[in-house]
Amino acid sequence: MSRKGMSTRSVHDGDKSLHYEGAINTPIFQSTTFAFPTEEPRTWNGEIPDGTYIYSRDSNPTVRAVEDKLASLEGAESSLAFSSGMAAITSALLTFLQKGDRLVAMQDLYGGTYAFLKNEMSRLGVDVTFVPTTDPAELCAAIDGRTKVLYLESPTNPLLKLIDIRETCRLAHQKGCLVMIDNTFATPILQRPLELGADIVLHSATKYLNGHSDVIAGFVAG
């Protein structure tokens, strides 16, 4: 973790303003497309160097700045921004799960997440098991050889139930299971699950990260 305080990191980390003509604030880039990364396109090998932008659907300097800021706050190697919290959650789940896999999840989850797991993941051939407890041993007892992901929330939405993240991650990793956790209600100011052993952290930035109900966004960090 950086020695800078959370307030300093919240303001300054990820800021790329001085890269752009000395701007005091990171500019809002509205361009959909950027100049080719080489003057000789025929010699391009397809690799996009870090810090080079091609198309805003893939990456954009403004979006990259907020991704770097969230990664710093969570103590993550990197993060990705999405158009909503559910976009972040579903993208992460679909990255690690495929037909025939199994997922174990807490039963007390955000309604949108619960509905996606129950209806859509099952339709895609993923076996989903909901465990009605926050006890680490009971949760991890449901993990078997086919289980690829243990999905958690803490505090839960809306019941604000808490889980011992460190112990749950320890037990899950003993069984070779990846741990995803929704950190929306705590934010990295109060809780950093990666420091407690989680593999992937998820956020609906629409809520506390934004703070004033005028943004819909999501993040995956790890």
56 vs 61: CA distance, rounded Å: 9
3-state SS, the chain, equals CCCCCHHHHHHHCCCCHHHCCCCCCCCCCCCCECCCCCCCHHHCCCCCCCCCCCECCCCCHHHHHHHHHHHHHHCCCCEEEECCHHHHHHHHHHHHCCCCCEEEEECCCCHHHHHHHHHHHHHCCCEEEEECCCCHHHHHHCCCCCEEEEEEECCCCCCCCCCCHHHHHHHHHHCCCEEEEECCCCHHHHCCHHHHCCCEEEEECCCCCCCCCCCCCEEEEC
Task: Supply the range of the domain harboring residue 58.
Answer: 1-74
pLDDT band (50, 70, 90) for residue 36? confident
Average pLDDT over residues 64-84: 95
Pick the last residue of a domain from 38, 58, 74.
Answer: 74
Q: What single letter denotes the amino acid at residue 138?
A: E
The widest CA-to-CA distance across the chain, in whole angstroms, is 59
Same domain, 222 and 136: yes
Length of the chain: 222
Summarised one tens digit per residue, pLDDT across range 128-148 is: 999 999 999 999 999 999 999
Q: How far apart are the first and last CA of the chain?
A: 14
Same domain, 117 and 214: yes
Q: Does position 18 have pLDDT exceeding 70, yes or no? A: no
Summarised one tens digit per residue, pLDDT across range 174-187 is: 999 999 999 999 99
Pick the last residue of a domain from 25, 56, 74.
Answer: 74
Same domain, 34 and 85: no
Same domain, 114 and 6: no
Q: What is the pTM of this model?
A: 0.90
Same domain, 69 and 112: no
The pLDDT value given to residue 22? 78
Average pLDDT over residues 53-66: 88
Same domain, 84 and 70: no
Same domain, 157 and 169: yes
Number of folded domains in the chain?
Answer: 2
- Among 25-29, 166-170, 178-182, the least confident range: 25-29
Same domain, 169 and 98: yes
The pLDDT value given to residue 17? 59
Same domain, 95 and 175: yes
Same domain, 35 and 94: no
CB 25 within 8 A of CB 70: no
Same domain, 92 and 65: no
pLDDT band (50, 70, 90) for residue 51? confident
Known catalytic residues? 57, 110, 182, 207
